[in-house]
């Protein structure tokens, strides 16, 4: 249904007032709602992680950009964030490595003084093979990145959050992890483990004013490899399109803010209605 027709229908005229996809009004400067906070976003050297870092910076947060191996990518994102008027540092660490995570968090605390927001964005999302053919190494690798990683990172930052009177932890999953998918047993199991940890931490850390939530992203506009693939994916989404990375970053920024001060232990699906709960 086109917009002009909607405006003529009772009760739907307000649709015309919403900004259209890609319009400049969608990128209006946000308030500095996160000023004085420090955010660590794992796996933020590119794609959704990069967009998230920049949105947090636009809202005033100092940021730690993390990548596993690409220092150039991480430092480039840190420079972009710094240009928004905040402190930004780039730190390399493999989240599946306990010692590297502890060193990253220690350096972030030494240089920026605190960590108020952790977004466990780094993850392994790729098909392996049929379950009966899956190797122990493939199983362990997924567990190390997707389950151990959020555990190591969360454990490392919680003492700082407690000392500062609270914080936010957001762990990222995926629809395949919840719904199941052929050849993805290792990824699904590992992500569900992190989900369970999120629910437990929401209860355990609530007395410390640390809010812990779980976000399940859908499909994003940089993921399709062809027009035909993009159209096929969009056909299964009620909103008729893939999401913009900025739309996901906005959800993270909201959950990190005081506007979400009564939200913890929740799973939030950001997918244009592709799956419904």
Contact yes or no for 120/153 (Cβ under 8 A): yes
Pairwise CA distance, residues 111 & 8, whole Å:
57
Contact yes or no for 196/212 (Cβ under 8 A): no
Residue 46's contacts (CB-CB under 8 Å, 6 or more residues apart) are 70, 73, 77
Q: What is the pLDDT of residue 2?
A: 41
Contact yes or no for 251/245 (Cβ under 8 A): no
Q: What is the pLDDT of residue 128?
A: 72
Pairwise CA distance, residues 163 & 223, whole Å:
40
Q: What is the pLDDT of residue 75?
A: 98
pTM value surpassing 0.85: yes
Contact yes or no for 215/173 (Cβ under 8 A): yes
pLDDT in tens, the chain (277 residues): 343 333 333 443 333 455 545 443 445 556 889 999 999 999 999 999 999 999 999 999 999 999 999 999 999 999 999 999 999 999 999 999 999 999 999 999 999 999 999 999 999 877 678 999 999 999 999 999 999 999 999 999 999 999 999 999 999 988 777 778 889 999 999 999 999 999 999 999 999 999 999 999 988 776 555 677 667 777 788 888 888 999 999 999 999 999 999 999 999 998 888 887 7
Q: What is the pLDDT of residue 219?
A: 82
Contact yes or no for 67/43 (Cβ under 8 A): yes
Q: What is the pLDDT of residue 129?
A: 87
Q: What is the pLDDT of residue 29?
A: 59
Contact yes or no for 74/270 (Cβ under 8 A): no
> Domain segments of the chain: what residues?
33-270
* In this structure, CATH architecture of domain 33-270: 3-Layer(aba) Sandwich (3.40)
């Amino acid at each position: 249904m086109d917009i002009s027709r909607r405006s003529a229908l009772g009760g739907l005229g307000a649709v015309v007032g919403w900004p259209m996809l890609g319009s400049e009004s969608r990128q209006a400067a946000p308030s500095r709602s996160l000023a004085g906070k420090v955010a660590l976003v794992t796996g933020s050297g590119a794609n959704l992680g990069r967009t998230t870092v920049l949105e947090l910076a636009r809202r005033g947060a100092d940021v730690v950009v993390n990548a596993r191996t690409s220092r150039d990518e991480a430092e480039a994102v840190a420079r972009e964030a710094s240009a928004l008027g905040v402190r930004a540092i780039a730190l390399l660490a493999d989240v599946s490595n306990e010692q590297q995570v502890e060193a990253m968090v220690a350096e972030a605390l030494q240089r920026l003084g605190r960590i108020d927001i952790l977004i466990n964005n780094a993850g392994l999302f790729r098909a392996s093979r049929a379950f009966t053919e899956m190797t122990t190494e493939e199983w362990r690798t997924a567990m190390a990145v997707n389950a151990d990683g959020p555990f190591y990172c969360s454990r490392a930052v919680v003492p700082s959050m407690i000392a500062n009177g609270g914080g936010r932890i957001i762990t990222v999953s995926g629809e395949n992890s919840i719904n199941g998918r052929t050849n993805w047993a290792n990824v699904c199991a590992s992500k569900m483990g992190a989900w369970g940890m999120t629910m437990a931490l929401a209860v355990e850390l609530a007395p410390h004013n640390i809010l812990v939530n779980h976000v399940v992203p859908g499909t994003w506009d940089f993921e399709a490899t062809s027009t035909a693939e993009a159209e096929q994916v969009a056909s299964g989404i009620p909103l008729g399109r893939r999401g913009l990375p900025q739309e996901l970053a906005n959800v993270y920024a909201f959950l990190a803010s005081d506007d979400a001060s009564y939200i913890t232990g929740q799973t939030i699906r950001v997918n244009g209605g592709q799956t419904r709960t």
